[in-house]
Amino acid sequence: MRIFLTVPIFLTAASPALAQNSDLQDASVRENDSAGDDSRFYLLADVDHVEGDVGEGLEYKTTFATTGVAMSKGRFSASASLPYIVSTAPQEVIVNQGGLFGTPLLGSTGSQTGQVKREGIGDLSLNAAYQLPVSGVNATVGASVKLPTASQEKGLGTGQVDYGVSGQLSKKMGAVVPFVGAGYTIVGEPDEFETRNRLSGTAGSHVLLGESSALTASYSYEQSATTGIGDSQSLNMGFGTNLTRSVRIGVDGAVGLSDAAPDTRVGLKLRVGI
């Protein structure tokens, strides 16, 4: 069946909610203090696999293998990460990971002719966050930039810069740490089609298990970057624990609640202090 695509479509491909990667080693579950002034540095490695569809007969399967570095000093933290993408998707789908969430973009106006496998380096993401010196709650503000290092010709990126800002509130109540977060992404607009900026939000809770482990459950929402499709909603679950004082491992996953969300996402995360 020939399917003609007349509008660009953004969908959430990987939706670790704004706080989904936060665990009890992060500001959202620490007591609200400056966490010391010593600088700390980390190596990061993540693998995420996402499956979903952007319409009848338009399924995609994408794996992101991401490496990065991070640092923290007092209330400030920053990170840089770069994914390697392997994806099987329709010719018209642009596989794009960046901003607050990774998203595939259905962005050409041709006819569907079959699945295409493509792979290569994705977009470079730069992130920074600051824990505000307020009492009673943990309040964090953040900013992110996605730089277009992915190949636009291969359909691995849009070739544009995205900017994002976010905020999160959490409060430790014994072993439970509820949180809420919101974000806004300024989406770079390619010449070939129109996009719009996106609002996103999350709500959930960490449950602390001992001194070094935590479970996380959350709901996430992301506004579509085009009027051609509905917004994305998903449920997220995660678990993180320390293997040693300097090595932390985590697993997480998500299931889509809306047609625009990926059907499933699973991930494995590793952080090593240096």
User: What is the pLDDT of the chain when averaged over all its residues?
Assistant: 81
Q: Residue 128 pairs with which residues in a beta bridge? A: 78, 143
Task: Map out the domains of the chain as residue ranges.
Answer: 9-273
Q: How far apart are CA 63 and CA 265, in angstroms?
A: 10
Chain segment 217-249, per-residue pLDDT in tens: 999 999 887 776 678 899 999 999 999 999 999
Query: Could you tell me the pLDDT band of residue 21, with boundaries at 50, 70 and 90?
Result: very low
- Mean pLDDT within 156-177: 93
Q: Which of 118, 48, 123, 50 is nearest to 82 (CA)?
A: 123
Half-sphere exposure of 144 (CA within 13 A, CB side): 25
Q: What angle (nearest 5°) sits at the alpha carbon of residue 186, between those of residues 170 and 92?
A: 115
What SS3 string covers 174-195?
Answer: CCEEEEEEEEEEECCCCCCCCC
pLDDT digit string, tens, across residues 95-134: 665 332 344 555 544 444 578 888 999 999 999 999 999 9
User: CA nearest 50: which of 64, 39, 36, 40?
Assistant: 64
Global confidence as pTM:
0.83
CATH class of 9-273: mainly beta
Q: For the beta carbon of residue 4, count every other beta carbon within 10 angstroms.
A: 9
Predicted confidence band of residue 205 (pLDDT cuts 50, 70, 90): very high
DSSP 241-257: EESSSSEEEEEEEEEES
| pLDDT score for 228 | 67
